[in-house]
């Protein structure tokens, strides 16, 4: 049987925890008391955003109901902004649970990707240009705040 490199306990030093602590930079799209949304640094399509709860959850199994609701409401805001900014209806909502599913960062997060299942780029492979990410974040942020 294949041995799984499964992480079940929350690591306070994971990269998204460090973002929430303000220890590493990111391109913010939206923030409220329970969630944070920011640009994925290795996007699978232009405008790929991640939404995370301000709760120490490894994956869906750990997510508390109030944070689950908050992540969903923030995801709706982000998706509406993506539709407006990219002038497209199609946005993929994706979320991976466990390394076997391909999860690489063990703080629960929802991917929102303006793409199609037929065109989706490879997962977490190619780093985007920092200034492009900053530009897109500003456009999405402006629409969400409007
Ligand atoms: P997953 O494999 O579902 O856990 O997704 C983790 C995502 O985090 C991938 O899409 C990565 O491109 C993204 N990612 C990793 N490090 C960073 C970072 N420093 N800033 C923004 N996104 C990141």
Q: Is the CB of 120 under 6 A from ligand 1?
A: no
Could you tell me if residue 9 is inside a domain?
no
Q: Is the CB of 128 under 6 A from ligand 1?
A: no
Count up the domains in the chain and report the number: 1
Count of alpha carbons within 13 angstroms of residue 28, beta-carbon side: 11
24's CB contacts (< 8 A; 6+ apart) are 15, 18
Q: 76 — alpha (psi -120 to 50), left (phi > 0) or beta?
A: alpha
In this prediction, residue 2 has a pLDDT band, given cuts at 50, 70 and 90, of: very low
Q: What is the pLDDT of residues 60-69, one digit of tens each?
A: 999 999 999 9
Could you tell me if residue 61 is inside a domain?
yes
Q: What is the pLDDT of residues 108-146, one digit of tens each?
A: 999 999 999 999 999 999 999 999 999 999 999 999 987
* C-alpha–C-alpha distance, residues 37 and 94, integer Å: 14
By annotation, the residues acting in catalysis are: 109
Q: What is the pLDDT of residues 8-63, one digit of tens each?
A: 899 999 999 999 999 999 999 999 999 999 999 999 999 999 999 999 999 999 99
Q: Which domain holds residue 32?
A: 15-145
Centre of ligand 1 to C-alpha 145, Å, is: 24
Could you tell me if residue 19 is inside a domain?
yes
In the three-class reduction of DSSP (H, G, I as helix; E, B as strand; rest coil), residue 134 is classed as helix
What's 133's domain CATH number? Answer: 3.30.428.10
Residue in 1, 3, 6, 2 with CA at minimum distance from that of residue 104: 6
- Please tell me the pTM assigned to this model: 0.95
């Amino acid at each position: 049987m294949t041995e799984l490199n499964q992480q079940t306990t929350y690591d306070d030093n994971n990269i998204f925890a460090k973002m929430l602590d303000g220890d590493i930079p990111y391109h913010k799209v939206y923030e409220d008391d329970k969630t944070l949304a920011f640009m994925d640094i290795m996007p699978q399509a232009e405008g790929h955003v991640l939404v995370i709860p301000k709760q120490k959850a490894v994956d869906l199994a750990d997510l508390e109901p109030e944070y689950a609701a908050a992540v969903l409401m923030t995801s709706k805001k982000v998706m509406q902004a993506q539709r407006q900014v990219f002038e497209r209806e199609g946005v993929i909502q994706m979320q991976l649970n466990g390394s076997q599913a391909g999860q690489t960062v063990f703080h629960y997060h929802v991917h929102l990707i303006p793409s199609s299942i037929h065109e989706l780029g490879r997962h977490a492979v190619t780093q985007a240009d920092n200034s492009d990410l900053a530009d897109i974040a500003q456009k999405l942020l402006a629409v969400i705040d409007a």
